[in-house]
Structure 1
Amino acid sequence: MVKRLSAEDAMYYFLDGSGTSAHMGSLLVVDPSAAADGARLNYHSLVSLVERRLQLMPRYRQVVKEVALGLGRPLWVDDPDFDVNFHVRLSALPNPGSMGQLQELIARIMSRPLGRERPLWEMYLIEGLSGGRVAVLTKSHRCLVAGEANREIGEVVCDTGVVPPELAEDLWMPGSPPGQASMTVGALADAMARPGELVDSLLRGNGPVADIWSVADKSARFVASTVQQVVNTAPDSPLNSVTTSSRLFACAQVSRRDCMKIATRFDCTFNDVVLAVLAGVLRRWTLSTKDTVTHGETIRVIVPLRAREADVATTGPGHWVPEYEPEFVTDLPIGEDSPAVRLMQVAGLADRYSGSTRRLAPEMKPLLPELGMVPFADFSTRAFSQIFQRTYNVPISMSDSVSQRYLAGHPVEEIYTIPTLAAQRAMAISVNEYGGAVQFGFVADRAVVSDLPAMAGYTAESLDELLTSGLPQD
């Protein structure tokens, strides 16, 4: 059955633009020889697994069709030429491949936008990692991921047990795609039920009459510039530079036990330690770009509000691609020399700002979503981008604590989330808890953060200095 994109899905769909694309993904590192039944993971077994799981996520066999003149939100339509082998691809590193080589390959893949003429996802089996390991990289457009029924494909192909669940035989046949005429008629029928929206769509459309909307667009820019005068803006930073399409990716992991040891010693939360580690990372990166860091200098980040909750075990298996959740803006004191004092400042600032309504982040969703028109989603995306582009420097996502995962019966050793790099952001960071480790994923604009591969070393150094730091003296 043909369905229309929700207002939120349409907003993410229209986030794509020059220098940015709203895709994200996962990196899974797997030992292909460790399956209980002795079967090895290869390209053919991965394709077979994906084919069986596609019945659980119909969007991954559908394309997005836009309505003429922008009279309604786009539609999810079955791809009549769907070919799983186009989406699941085989790649390899020169054996034995290093993590640096893997990260560079991922950077090139994530730099390419997804073609809109096909379903908006890709998966890569990357062979040749040292130790006989393989990596599975997924790349999905953010509009595909919405709720439990539409998880990111990397989560859907993984299991919580060694034995994959039995699924009924899938006899999928694509439905007949609607013609542009019927799509337009359907959009008009929806709009006629709400005449005001039809007028709004014609005036604000993304078709031939779109020029009329430029006057309102200029008004939005004026409002944005006015709002920025009263909003507590983030510090000036190259991390708010206009992004290009060229990406870099880096990953690092540290011991969760070490993080908990630090949290116990300093009487703070686990997430305080994680943020302090990142403060140390960003301090080192800043020092690599200029001679000194001034005392009191900060980098402003946006983090999930639940990062301030007490450390409790997650109910259920957990997800490493989190859904939208309330967020707040806080500061990482990169100008502080002492690692111990820096941790105390991180904890104090996060505790204070998480309770401040001025520091709560606006939800990323279309303005007046009940209208649900495509042009309005497009307009509200531009408005949000301009109004809130300077409210923070770096977004940080934090996943649930994820239980052991298996891919076709093979244990997954490492899981990294590859976050979306939005417009006006030159870096994004993800944090996962998996397999007794805290795993960090860094995505950046290659033109702005050319030394991103150094982040792995910065992460280990930042944790080590916290481990060896004593309590600050009164």
Structure 2
Amino acid sequence: MSHLSTLDAGFLQAEDADRHVSLAIGGLAVIQGPTPDYDAVLSSLAGRIRGCPRFGQRLLLHPLDLGAPEWVDDPDFDLGRHIRRTALPRPGDDHELFGLIADLMSRRLDRDRPLWEIWVIEGLAEGKWAILTKLHHCMADGIAATHVLAGLSDSGISESFATDLHPSGPESASAAQGGSGRNPLSPVVMMGGLWKASTAATAGFARVAQGAAEIAAGLLRPGTSSLNGPIGDLRRYSGARVSRADIDQVCRKFDVTINDVALAAITESYRTMLIRRGERPRPDSLRTLVPVSVRSTRALSKTDNRVSLMLPYLPVHQADPIQRLRMVHSRLKQTKAGGQTQAGNLFMSITNLIPFPLTAWAFRLLMRLPQRGVVTVATNVPGPRQPMEIMGRRVVGLYPVPPIAMQLRTAVAMLSYADDFFFGVLADYDVVADADQLARGIEVAIARLVEISKGRRKPRRRGALTLVV
């Protein structure tokens, strides 16, 4: 048996706190046809699913949260209950496909069975078909879920962009010993090392304290956007796709990261949406939860959650796209330096040492309080570097599907796959009618940055405003 961590169990408690919420995460693989026979798909996926023991396990819950939930083997496991088949009216376009995804993701997974589903979707235009992989968030974070999806491909789990992650670790022996060829046991070197260690520890504690204070302030300070509030039963979903080469072009020109460019594009699209909704974009309009992976490359195959968080304000008030990009870059850099990620990671580590009933009851209480400080979620998941094939058919698109919960009415997930970068937008059906416009706005924003980076558009001044033409 394997116990859930405090973070894993927290996703169950967040779902319990709101009957309208389904905390499943998804990955949508669009595949070049023809569609295989369903029995052949079932047989092929069955062999690959056996490689992940968690797929055959269900949750064992303890009364009154007296113990952490545990993964146990399901004696009644039936693959046919988890691999489903559906179809769009032919020829199904992206709008119909995304509508089906929204409907499937809005339904809660049955906790009496293993917490996953795979949907084989037929009837797409141009002879394509699709596979939706749906996992409960208590089972895996975005990186782990993408790793599982890649494991369903013909070649199995190959090289991933997740290998670019560089989790912090202890200094090398040579660095710890001064790295200058001096005797590490000499009194001078030992005293100098102790002084440096003491100084570093003091600075580290101060940074974590600052990060913890910033997280608390971000959660407690009320926001001003209609994108925060109660969530209904239904969802809207849309996807966007851009070239990694285009994003790399912007990165080289402005010395920023891929994540900076993606978040700047998301910021512009939210700005456009707020204006369209009659709201004035303000500096504090879009405090965003940005999950940060603390997963090492050695733990990519672990089906669990290993994330911390940052809570930056995305600059929706800034009209100029270049200034907006630079502000996103500087704010993320400042937030990382401020210790929010370290504070979040330390908090989760400490809660794992506390008896589970205490943390469970505290989490359940917190989840039921109205959360008005954070407005949306933007998460970046590294995907496979090489194109995948499933049953000899090429995967031509790979869209992430994030959940929404805790009064966050929209969420955007990003996923890098081969030569492209994919966005998935999930939104509350009743409150956010423009999920597709939000996705299209992301594509437009990146196209604008690419044009500027190539010198095809130059900023010019008109009065006190800087315009891009």
Q: TM-score range by the shorter chain?
A: 0.7 to 0.9
CA-CA distance at 1:160 after TM superposition: 4.1
Q: Does 1:103 align with 2:98?
A: yes
Q: 1:161-172 to 2 correspondence within 5 Å?
A: none
Q: Does 1:120 align with 2:93?
A: no
Q: Deviations over 1:30-83 (max 9, x none)?
A: 1134xxxxxx63322221122212322222222223234443233333323221
CA-CA distance at 1:329 after TM superposition: 1.9
Q: Deviations over 1:67-110 (max 9, x none)?
A: 34443233333323221111111110111100000011111111
Counterpart position of 2:138:
143
Q: Which runs of 5+ in 2 are unaligned?
A: 159-214, 462-469
Counterpart position of 2:409:
426
* Equivalent of 1:362 in 333, 344, 358: 344
Deviates more, 1:149-158 or 1:277-286: 149-158
* CA distance in 2: counterparts of 1:254 and 1:234, whole angstroms: 34
Identity %: 29
CA-CA distance at 1:285 after TM superposition: 1.4
Distance of aligned partners of 1:298 and 1:362 in 2 relative to their CA distance in 1, 3 Å threshold: same
Tell me, yes or no, if the aligned pair for 1:162 and 1:410 is still in contact at 8 Å.
no
Q: Does 1:378 align with 2:378?
A: no
Tell me, yes or no, if the aligned pair for 2:150 and 2:157 is still in contact at 8 Å.
no
CA-CA distance at 1:361 after TM superposition: 6.4
Q: Does 1:302 align with 2:289?
A: yes
Tell me, yes or no, if the aligned pair for 1:246 and 1:446 is still in contact at 8 Å.
yes
* Equivalent of 1:78 in 70, 73, 76: 73
- Structure 2 counterpart SS, 1:432: strand
Tell me, yes or no, if the aligned pair for 1:15 and 1:378 is still in contact at 8 Å.
no
Q: Does 1:329 align with 2:311?
A: yes
Counterpart position of 1:61:
56
CA-CA distance at 1:132 after TM superposition: 0.5
Counterpart position of 1:220:
none
> Letter of the aligned partner of 1:88 in structure 2?
I
* CA distance in 2: counterparts of 1:133 and 1:72, whole angstroms: 46
For normalisation by structure 2, the TM-score amounts to 0.74
CA-CA distance at 1:254 after TM superposition: 1.0
Q: 1:236-251 to 2 correspondence within 5 Å?
A: 236-251=224-239
Deviates more, 1:404-413 or 1:139-148: 139-148
Distance of aligned partners of 1:315 and 1:437 in 2 relative to their CA distance in 1, 3 Å threshold: farther
Q: How many residues align?
A: 395
Counterpart position of 1:464:
447
> Letter of the aligned partner of 2:11 in structure 1?
Y
Counterpart position of 1:288:
276
Distance of aligned partners of 1:360 and 1:371 in 2 relative to their CA distance in 1, 3 Å threshold: closer
> Letter of the aligned partner of 2:20 in structure 1?
G
CA-CA distance at 1:367 after TM superposition: 6.4
Deviates more, 1:129-138 or 1:237-246: 237-246
Distance of aligned partners of 1:41 and 1:337 in 2 relative to their CA distance in 1, 3 Å threshold: same
CA-CA distance at 1:303 after TM superposition: 2.2
> Letter of the aligned partner of 2:66 in structure 1?
L
Q: Which runs of 5+ in 1 are unaligned?
A: 34-39, 164-226, 308-313
* CA distance in 2: counterparts of 1:349 and 1:89, whole angstroms: 44
Q: Does 1:23 align with 2:24?
A: yes
> Letter of the aligned partner of 2:231 in structure 1?
T
* Equivalent of 1:45 in 34, 40, 46: 40
* CA distance in 2: counterparts of 1:3 and 1:401, whole angstroms: 27
* CA distance in 1: counterparts of 2:424 and 2:100, whole angstroms: 15
* Equivalent of 1:435 in 418, 434, 437: 418
Distance of aligned partners of 1:382 and 1:271 in 2 relative to their CA distance in 1, 3 Å threshold: same
Tell me, yes or no, if the aligned pair for 1:145 and 1:151 is still in contact at 8 Å.
no
* CA distance in 2: counterparts of 1:322 and 1:9, whole angstroms: 7
* CA distance in 2: counterparts of 1:442 and 1:121, whole angstroms: 21
CA RMSD of aligned residues (A): 3.4
> Letter of the aligned partner of 1:20 in structure 2?
V
* CA distance in 2: counterparts of 1:125 and 1:339, whole angstroms: 40
- Structure 2 counterpart SS, 1:95: strand
Q: 1:249-260 to 2 correspondence within 5 Å?
A: 249-260=237-248
Q: Deviations over 1:361-418 (max 9, x none)?
A: 6348486323453x43432323553689344221211112521222233221111121
